[in-house]
Structure 1
Amino acid sequence: MTAPATATTTTAPPKALYVYGITPAGVRAPRSLGVDGAPVRLLTGSGLCAAVSAAPARLRPRRRDLLAHQAVLDELAAQGPLLPMRFAVLSPRTDVLLSQLRSDSAHLTRQLDDVRGCVEFNVKGAVVPGHFAELVRRDESLRDLALRTRRRPDYEANVRLGEVLARGVRREARRAARDVLDRLTPLAVRTVQGPTDDECVLSASFLLRSTDERRFRQAVEARALEYGDRLALSVTGPLPCYSFVDPSPAPAGR
């Protein structure tokens, strides 16, 4: 398998395979058509199955192909553990992919065991703008600055006050995000943190037992109520376990 393409358009080599995911052997081939309307088939080797279709000559992230990719994964995930590939993962030939299944079978089987009975949820937290009144009430230095600016308003003073308030709002949102992460992490089998910035101060993926989904959603809702004045939480899932899959074994010695 090769890494997903980062370019807008990918030209696949002749007879290349588009790879959707890897499952234990014995699953049924998805009925859904794959990317570019191609039928999906299963390649089986070493107790594993790779769901593949013929790669289109030109591969673009069109909405219909993204939805087709997801539909195939949904059918596979409904049958058991799945190592999902992200959109646009290709293998150059059938024999290459079967060889990889053989050589990596122990690693891939462990990965499947790790996600068995699990789903992924992603939680993001965005800064809520305008969380000023409470901030000023609790911070004496901010109260003093706001009072001085009100008494002697000018452009620079207003800009300075705005910058200080914005930093304070982000600081409060980050503090809330840390608490949310601390509260949710014990509910998950594993947690992976994603990139954040000044606006999105929380991004984390959680590997959950399917039986814990309701409890997890309730915990997110409780935190959203607790911190809704400073942190806007959103949750996406259940998803295939993209963030918890490593299709390639670590090099020897690591």
Structure 2
Amino acid sequence: MSSTAEVAPDRRAAVTGVWLHGVVRDVDRVALATVAGMGGVAVRAVSAAGLVAVVSTAPLDEYGEEPLRRNLEDLAWLERAARTHHAVVEALARQGPVVPARLATVHTDDGRVAASLAARRAELSATLARLTGRGEWGVKGYLVPGASVPSVASGAGGGGVGTAYLRRRRAQLTAREEHQQVASAAADAVHVALCEVAVAGRRHAPQDRRLSGVSAPMALNGAYLVDTAALPRFSDLVGSLGTRHPGLRLELTGPWPAYSFVAERPEPAGAGGESR
């Protein structure tokens, strides 16, 4: 998981930094006061160049470059930080389009945040325009055990007990491979069909069972940018594709902030003093 942190020119003078959550066109500042950011403190807004960055004040003894590098190796700390960051981005997404910042983007001060907004005004504005009236939806496809699997040969055919066992075992392995091939082809077909309705689609690597929380293997982990007006059609299509491909159990999730369709996340201005 990547991170970005600026180096303060004078570490002794810098007590707090600024954790960037995301960029929006405008925001309800009263509502922001109810959204908890890093360390449980309410997030706030930094405006520049017709854009608004939503940030948390971040103590540099925890969120500075060196502490961040250590903390990002601490899975418990990382999970807490990711959950807090994502909760802020979700709150912003409920109000309108948002360009999420990558996890652990920390600036030294509000001035650097404003400079970044000004430097990237054109691309950030274009991204926000592209996301307006659209949402990211996920479609996961899980293998259905036993579906579309050829019947396994019995032990008949002579050759003794050992030969019969090997024959059955070979048939089982062949059936499993064919099942996986059928599921892979079905996942490809589902993705292509969904992309015809969505504005854009992207396939991510299938999640490990420990992450998905589902015992069945995942064959499709797709993300789709869908116009709000086209959502009923998209949802109906997911249902019909599930019927058409019984070897896959399709699951529609969302809407999510459009993480999958933001090619470049907001980062600190300037090349010096970044670590990833």
Give the TM-score, by structure 1 length.
Answer: 0.79
Which letter maps to 2:27?
V
- Paired residue for 2:106? 90
By relative contact order (CA 8 Å, sep 6+), the higher-ranking structure is 2
CA distance 1:161–1:212, shift in 2 (3 Å): same
Deviation at 1:91, TM superposition (A): 2.8
Deviation at 1:248, TM superposition (A): 5.7
In 1, the alpha carbon distance for the partners of 2:195 and 2:255 equals 16
In 2, the alpha carbon distance for the partners of 1:126 and 1:67 equals 25
- Paired residue for 1:216? 234
The correspondence of residues 55-134 of structure 1 with structure 2, limited to 5 A, is 55=58, 57=62, 60-62=77-79, 66-131=82-147, 134=148
In 2, the alpha carbon distance for the partners of 1:14 and 1:159 equals 65
- Paired residue for 1:166? 176
CA distance 1:173–1:162, shift in 2 (3 Å): same
Which letter maps to 1:182?
V
- The answer to whether the Cα contact below 8 Å between 1:121 and 1:206 also exists between their aligned partners in 2 is yes
Give the TM-score, by structure 2 length.
Answer: 0.73
In 1, the alpha carbon distance for the partners of 2:166 and 2:79 equals 48
The correspondence of residues 1-254 of structure 1 with structure 2, limited to 5 A, is 3-4=2-3, 14-24=15-25, 26-29=26-29, 30=32, 31-55=34-58, 57=62, 60-62=77-79, 66-131=82-147, 134-136=148-150, 146-147=153-154, 149-152=155-158, 154=162, 155-196=165-206, 199-228=217-246, 230-245=247-262, 246-247=264-265
In 1, the alpha carbon distance for the partners of 2:110 and 2:47 equals 11
Deviation at 1:62, TM superposition (A): 4.2
Deviation at 1:88, TM superposition (A): 3.3
Equivalenced residues, count: 228
Deviation at 1:38, TM superposition (A): 1.2
In 1, the alpha carbon distance for the partners of 2:196 and 2:137 equals 14
- The answer to whether the Cα contact below 8 Å between 1:122 and 1:235 also exists between their aligned partners in 2 is yes
> Which sections of structure 1, spanning at least 5 residues, go unmatched?
6-12, 138-142, 250-254
In 1, the alpha carbon distance for the partners of 2:206 and 2:83 equals 27
In 2, the alpha carbon distance for the partners of 1:240 and 1:96 equals 25
- The answer to whether the Cα contact below 8 Å between 1:3 and 1:89 also exists between their aligned partners in 2 is no
- Paired residue for 1:10? none
Deviation at 1:73, TM superposition (A): 2.4
Q: Secondary structure at the match of 1:113?
A: helix
RMSD: 2.7
The 4+ residue runs of structure 1 with deviation greater than 6 A are none
> Which sections of structure 2, spanning at least 5 residues, go unmatched?
5-13, 64-70, 72-76, 209-216, 268-276
